[in-house]
C-alpha cells in the first residue's frame, strides 16, 4: 500500500477499529468514526457522527478524503438481536448499505466486516461459496448486509471473521473475558461443543491490509488456521499466560437456554484467503504468544486512546463468554 493513504473506520471505538488505529502501518492515516466519541485523543483523528444517513456519511467522507472505508459497526450481542430485530437490521444491514452507497457515490473502496454466524453450524469448515443458512436474527442481518453490499457495489470487499484481542473499556473479547475471570478466580463454563476459527486482531488487520493491496473484492474468510472449541481456546489461552484453569469447567452449548439459537460449529476455512496472500493466517499458539507479548503495552494504549474522549460505556452480561464476530 502506498504512503499517504487513509483508512476511515466506522465503528472506530470497537475492538477492531481501536486496535487498527494502534497497529496501523507506517504511512497510513487512520480516521475513526463513531456515534459516541468526541475529541482527538493523542492526536488520533476521531469523528462523531450522530446522523448516519447516506448524505451525512458523504459529507464526512468528503471532509476526510479516505482511500478506503471500513464498516466495523455491528450489534454483536446475539440475544439482543433476537429481542430487538429492528435494531439489529438497522445496525447490521441498513447502515452498511447506506455507507456502501456513500462510497459508491464518492468512488471509494468499501470493506465490510461480516461474521462467521452465517451458517447453521451442522458441518463447519465452511468455504466462501457454501450456501448461507443463518439460524438467528444476528446471522440473518449479517447475511442481509452482505447481499445488500454486493448488490450496491460488486467491487466491495467482505471479510468474514471471528477475532479476539484486547478491547476498549466497556467492551470485551473472549480472551479478555477468560483472563479477567481467571484473575478473579471466578468459576466459569467454557463450551466443549461450540467451535470456531479465531484470529488475533493484529493478524486480522494485517490480512485486511494485504487484501486491499491485492485489490481484492468479494467475500473472504479471514480467520485462524485451526478449528477449536471455546473450551480448547480458553485452556490454551490460560496456559500461554501462565494462569490456572482450575476455576473453569467444561460446559455444553447444547445445555444452555439462550433467547437466540447458536450455530454449533462456526468454523470457516481460510484456504482461499491464504492462497491469495501466500501465507498462513495464524497458528493459534503463535497468535496467543503474540497476544501475551502485547500485554505490556496494548491495554495501556487502548486506555490512553479513549481517556480523553466522551465514550459511553456499555454493559454486558459476564456469565457467559462475549461473542465477537
Q: pLDDT by residue (tens digit) across 17-76?
A: 999 999 887 788 899 998 765 544 444 567 888 788 999 999 999 999 999 999 999 999
Instruction: Give the pLDDT confidence of 142-172 residue by residue, as tens digits.
Output: 999 999 999 999 999 999 999 999 988 767 8
Predicted confidence (pLDDT) at residue 322 exceeds the cutoff of 80: no
Contact of 284 with 239, CB cutoff 8 Å = no
Sorting pLDDT into bands at 50, 70 and 90, what band is 315? very low
Predicted confidence (pLDDT) at residue 325 exceeds the cutoff of 80: no
What is the spatial distance between Cα 192 and Cα 317, in angstroms, rounded to a whole number? Answer: 20
Q: Higher pLDDT residue, 31 or 323?
A: 31
pLDDT of residue 3: 54
Bridge-based pairing of strands 195-196 and 228-229 is: antiparallel
pLDDT of residue 52: 85
Rg of the Cα atoms in the chain = 19
Which three cell numbers mark 150? Answer: 454486493
Residue labelled with grid coordinates 467492551: 171
- How far, CA to CA in Å, does 136 sit from each of 107, 166, 169, 195, 227? 34, 27, 28, 17, 22
Instruction: Give the pLDDT confidence of 214-254 residue by residue, as tens digits.
Output: 999 999 999 999 999 999 999 999 999 999 999 999 999 99
- How far, CA to CA in Å, does 68 sit from each of 9, 157, 310? 9, 10, 26
pLDDT of residue 318: 44
What is the spatial distance between Cα 113 and Cα 73, in angstroms, rounded to a whole number? Answer: 8
Predicted confidence (pLDDT) at residue 106 exceeds the cutoff of 60: yes
pTM, two decimal places: 0.91
pLDDT of residue 243: 96
Contact of 133 with 193, CB cutoff 8 Å = no
DSSP H helices in 13-136: 15-22, 54-64, 78-83, 85-89, 95-106
Sorting pLDDT into bands at 50, 70 and 90, what band is 305? confident
Predicted confidence (pLDDT) at residue 118 exceeds the cutoff of 90: yes
Q: Higher pLDDT residue, 308 or 260?
A: 260
What are phi and psi for residue 251, nearest 5 degrees? -110, 175
pLDDT of residue 317: 40
Residues shown for the chain: 325
Q: Higher pLDDT residue, 287 or 169?
A: 287
pLDDT of residue 320: 56
What is the spatial distance between Cα 139 and Cα 129, in angstroms, rounded to a whole number? Answer: 16
Predicted confidence (pLDDT) at residue 310 exceeds the cutoff of 60: no
Q: Which of 60-69, 191-200, 312-321 has the lowest mean pLDDT?
A: 312-321
What is the spatial distance between Cα 146 and Cα 153, in angstroms, rounded to a whole number? Answer: 10
What is the spatial distance between Cα 165 and Cα 176, in angstroms, rounded to a whole number? Answer: 7
pLDDT of residue 26: 79
Amino acid at each position: 500500500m502506498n504512503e499517504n493513504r487513509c483508512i476511515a473506520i466506522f465503528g472506530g471505538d470497537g475492538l477492531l477499529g481501536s486496535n487498527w488505529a494502534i497497529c496501523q502501518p507506517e504511512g497510513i492515516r487512520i480516521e475513526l468514526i463513531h456515534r459516541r466519541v468526541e475529541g482527538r485523543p493523542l492526536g488520533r483523528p476521531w469523528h462523531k457522527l450522530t446522523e448516519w444517513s447516506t448524505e451525512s456519511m458523504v459529507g464526512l467522507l468528503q471532509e476526510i478524503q479516505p482511500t478506503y472505508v471500513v464498516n466495523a459497526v455491528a450489534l454483536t450481542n446475539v440475544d439482543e438481536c433476537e429481542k430487538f430485530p429492528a435494531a439489529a437490521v438497522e445496525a447490521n444491514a441498513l447502515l452498511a448499505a447506506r455507507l456502501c452507497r456513500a462510497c459508491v457515490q464518492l468512488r471509494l473502496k468499501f470493506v465490510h466486516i461480516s461474521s462467521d454466524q452465517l451458517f447453521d453450524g451442522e458441518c463447519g469448515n465452511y468455504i466462501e461459496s457454501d450456501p448461507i443458512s443463518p439460524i438467528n436474527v444476528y446471522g440473518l442481518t449479517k447475511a442481509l448486509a452482505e447481499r445488500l453490499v454486493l448488490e450496491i457495489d460488486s467491487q466491495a470487499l467482505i471479510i468474514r471473521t471471528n477475532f479476539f484481542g484486547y478491547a476498549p473499556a466497556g467492551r470485551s473479547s473472549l480472551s479478555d473475558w477468560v483472563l479477567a475471570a481467571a484473575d478473579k478466580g471466578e468459576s466459569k463454563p467454557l463450551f466443549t461443543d461450540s467451535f470456531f476459527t479465531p484470529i488475533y486482531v493484529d493478524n486480522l488487520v494485517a490480512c485486511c491490509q494485504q487484501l486491499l493491496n491485492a485489490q481484492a473484492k468479494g467475500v473472504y474468510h479471514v480467520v485462524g488456521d485451526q478449528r477449536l472449541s471455546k473450551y480448547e481456546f480458553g485452556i490454551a489461552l490460560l496456559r500461554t499466560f501462565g494462569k490456572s484453569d482450575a476455576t473453569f469447567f467444561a460446559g455444553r452449548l447444547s445445555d444452555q437456554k439462550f433467547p437466540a439459537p447458536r450455530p454449533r460449529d462456526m468454523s470457516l476455512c481460510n484456504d482461499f484467503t491464504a492462497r491469495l496472500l501466500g501465507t498462513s493466517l495464524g497458528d493459534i499458539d503463535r497468535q496467543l504468544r503474540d497476544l501475551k507479548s502485547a500485554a505490556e503495552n496494548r491495554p495501556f494504549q487502548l486506555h490512553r486512546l479513549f481517556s480523553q474522549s466522551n465514550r459511553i460505556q456499555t454493559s454486558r452480561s459476564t456469565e457467559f463468554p462475549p461473542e465477537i464476530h
